[in-house]
């Protein structure tokens, strides 16, 4: 059996090599290149493909994999919004993901960034570089006094709720699917509008779907409390960036931490050499603000998560090739 793994980074390589040693029945080929029209030929002769990338898995690429008789594509991440679902189905390609490589990794960064915003540590960091060790005017808010509205209570949403509650915050949540445990505890509100109206912090943990694009927009920001904090470690498309910038300008939003950005592909995880060279003015507008924390999609980036992404995706691909089945198949 032969599996080709695309887009393998240096930090993933040791885990892939270890998996390969532990699975001598599998011939593993790997490349640092992403899976696109120019690299798809490398998959010819393989039984399965493992990949991670944010750029689209296009119609052309999936048609080509189909023409090689490849039926299994295993993603090393959670989100599969960049897979052309129609093309995958047409070619009979089953897609798996890694739904839980470490929900805690995402949850921990989310709350870290919220605490940095609330305690204004980035502002104190900047002040002290200039020898300014004063306090005012950067007085903080306390999380234990706040209501946090969590949007989507999948694995990541539930992991983050645990941490918020550990800090003593009141948590309310919205999801179309109710987790029985949270339901029993009366955490859910009936509508997003109710969550917007009651929350001091909005914590986004929803996958990107065609229905929730720009769920935070001018209209929904207007329904929130003045000075609300907004956290997005989920998907850039959930927030209308122009509306966020206006809401920050008017102080409707008091602070924001975004680990994702709607135009991040090709920008995040790239070294531009200087701030000026970053080719995105809206992103730079956000990055320049003291009450906005931008991170380049690093919430997942922990040793445990990276190892699990490689191992779980390779295991899923092998199982699909052997049996046609995996508990990690996604519903495209």
Active-site residue list: 235, 264, 297
The Cα 281–Cα 100 span in angstroms is 34
Are 62 and 91 a contacting pair, CB within 8 Å?
yes
The Cα 8–Cα 169 span in angstroms is 40
Tokens 């989100």 sit at which residue?
Answer: 79
Distances (CA, A) of 193 to 168, 188, 215: 24, 12, 11
Nearer to ligand COI (CB atom), residue 23 or residue 82: 82
Tokens 């599998």 sit at which residue?
Answer: 26
| Beta-sheet strands, E only, within the chain | 2-5, 27-30, 48-51, 72-75, 94-96, 147-151, 170-174, 201-204, 228-232, 253-258, 292-294
Task: Tell me which residue has its CB nearest to ligand COI.
Answer: 77
Q: How far is the CB of 3 from ligand COI (least distance, A)?
A: 19
Closest Cα to residue 298, out of 260, 256, 242, 270? 260
Nearer to ligand COI (CB atom), residue 109 or residue 171: 109
- CB 139: neighbour CB atoms within 10 A? 7
**Chain contacts with ligand COI (rule: CB under 6 A):** 52, 77-79, 297, 300
- With b for 16 or more beta-carbon neighbours within 10 A and e for fewer, the 50-69 pattern comes to bbbbbeebbeebbebbbebe
Question: Per DSSP, what are the bridge partners of residue 149?
Answer: 172, 202
Tokens 């960036």 sit at which residue?
Answer: 241
């Amino acid at each position: 059996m032969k599996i080709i793994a695309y887009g393998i980074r240096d930090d993933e390589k040791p885990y892939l090599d270890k998996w390969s040693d532990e699975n001598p029945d599998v011939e593993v080929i790997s490349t640092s290149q992403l899976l696109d029209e120019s690299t798809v030929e490398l998959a010819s002769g393989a039984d399965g493909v493992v990949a991670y990338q944010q750029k689209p898995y296009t119609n052309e690429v999936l048609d080509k994999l189909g023409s090689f008789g490849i039926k299994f594509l295993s993603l090393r991440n959670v989100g599969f919004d960049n897979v052309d679902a129609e093309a995958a189905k047409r070619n009979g390609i089953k897609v798996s993901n890694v739904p839980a490589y470490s929900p805690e990794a995402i949850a921990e960064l989310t709350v870290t960034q919220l605490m940095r915003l609330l305690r204004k540590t980035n502002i104190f960091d900047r002040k002290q570089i200039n020898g300014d060790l004063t306090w005012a005017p950067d007085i903080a808010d306390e999380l234990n006094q706040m209501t946090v509205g969590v949007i989507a209570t999948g694995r990541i949403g539930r992991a983050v709720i645990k941490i918020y509650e550990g800090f003593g915050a009141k948590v309310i949540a919205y999801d179309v699917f109710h987790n029985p445990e949270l339901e029993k505890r009366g955490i859910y509100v009936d509508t997003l509008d109710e969550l917007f109206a009651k929350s001091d912090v909005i914590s986004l943990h929803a996958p990107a779907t065609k229905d929730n694009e720009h769920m935070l927009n001018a209209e929904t920001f207007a329904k929130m409390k003045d000075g609300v904090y907004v956290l997005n470690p989920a998907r850039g498309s959930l927030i209308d960036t122009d509306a966020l910038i206006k809401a920050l300008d008017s102080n409707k939003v008091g602070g924001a931490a975004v680990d994702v950005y709607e135009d991040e592909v090709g920008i995040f995880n790239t070294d531009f050499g200087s701030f000026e060279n970053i080719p995105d003015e809206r992103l730079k507008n956000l990055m320049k603000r003291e009450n906005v924390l931008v991170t380049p999609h690093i919430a997942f980036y922990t040793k445990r998560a990276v190892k699990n992404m490689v191992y779980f995706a390779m295991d899923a691909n092998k199982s699909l090739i052997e049996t046609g089945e995996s508990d990690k198949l996604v519903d495209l």
